[in-house]
Amino acid sequence: MLPISRIASVLLLTFGAVSASNAAKQCFQAGGPTVYGDVTATVTGCVNHSGRGFAPFGPFEAQSISERLTCTYTFNKPLLTSSVTVESQSHDQLALLTIATDAGPYTPAEGDVVTPIPGSLSRFAVVVSGAGYTGTNPASSGTMSLKNNPPEAIRSISVTQTGVGSSPTVIRVCADDAGVPTPVVRESVPVPTLSEWNVLLTACLLGVGGLFAFWRSKRNSHQAQA
C-alpha cells in the first residue's frame, strides 16, 4: 500500500497537470476578468460587443475597436502563443490591425491567416498588409494565429487599429490549448521513514545498548584495578 504522503503527492501532481491542460476554447471578454483554467485574463481599452449579427461570435466574447484604439489582454500567468488566436469581423479594407505581445510587435505571416471565419456574415478575406492585417472589403473576416516565430509564452497581447473603416472592427481573442501536450506527471519518490513505534523501539534498543556498553566498560575498569 502506498504511504499517505505518496498518494497525496501523486494526486497533487495529477490535479496540476489536468488544470494546466484545458483542451477547450475560451474567448476573453472586456468589462471583467475571464478565468481560463488557472489563468485570469483582463481586457482594457475596448468595449464588449453583444455579438448580434456577427455569428458565430457569442454575446460578450467579442470587442469593438476603432481607429487609434488599442485593445489589451493581460494574463496573470503566461500563455503559450501557439494557442492564441485573434479573430476579426466587419474588418474594413481601410482598417489596419497590428498585434503586439509583451515581447514586442508581432510580425505577421501569410500562414497565420485563415479566412473567412466559418459561419461569419463577413465573408471576404483578411490579408497580411505590411506589419498588420487588413480586409479586402468593408465586410471581411479572418482568424489570425500567433505562430510565426512566437516567444515561448506571453503575459499580454494587444490589438491596435489604425485607419478609419466604415464601422468599428469586431474582434475577439481566444486561447485553445487542445494541441498543447499535457505535462508529464512524475511520481515523487518516497523518502524512507520510521513509524512512531519503530522510532520508539529504536530508541529503546539504543538505550539498552548504551547501558550494556556502560556496564561492560565499568566492569572492565574494576577488573583492571584488581
Average pLDDT, the chain: 78
Band of the pLDDT at 147, cuts 50, 70, 90? confident
Window from 99-108, 154-163, 182-191, 212-221 with minimum mean pLDDT: 182-191
> Which of 152, 67, 63, 137 lies closest to 101 in space, CA to CA?
152
Reported as a single tens digit per residue, the pLDDT across 11-50 is 333 333 333 444 478 899 888 888 888 889 999 999 888 7
Identify the residue with better confidence: 175 or 92: 92
Per-residue pLDDT band for 218 (boundaries 50, 70, 90) equals: low
- The neighbour count for residue 163, using CB atoms within 10 Å, is 16
Q: How far is CA 70 from CA 73, 109, 132, 176, in A?
A: 10, 21, 14, 23
pLDDT band per the 50, 70, 90 thresholds, residue 7: very low
Q: Is the overall model pTM greater than 0.75, yes or no? A: no
- The amino acid occupying position 156 is S
* pLDDT tens column, 17-26: 333 444 478 8
Beta strand residue intervals within 80-123, DSSP E: 84-91, 96-101, 104-105, 113-114
What is the band of 225 on the pLDDT scale with cuts at 50, 70, 90?
A: low
Q: What is the grid cell recorded at 140?
A: 471581411
Distances from the Cα of 20 to the Cα of 73, 180, 184, angstroms: 20, 10, 11
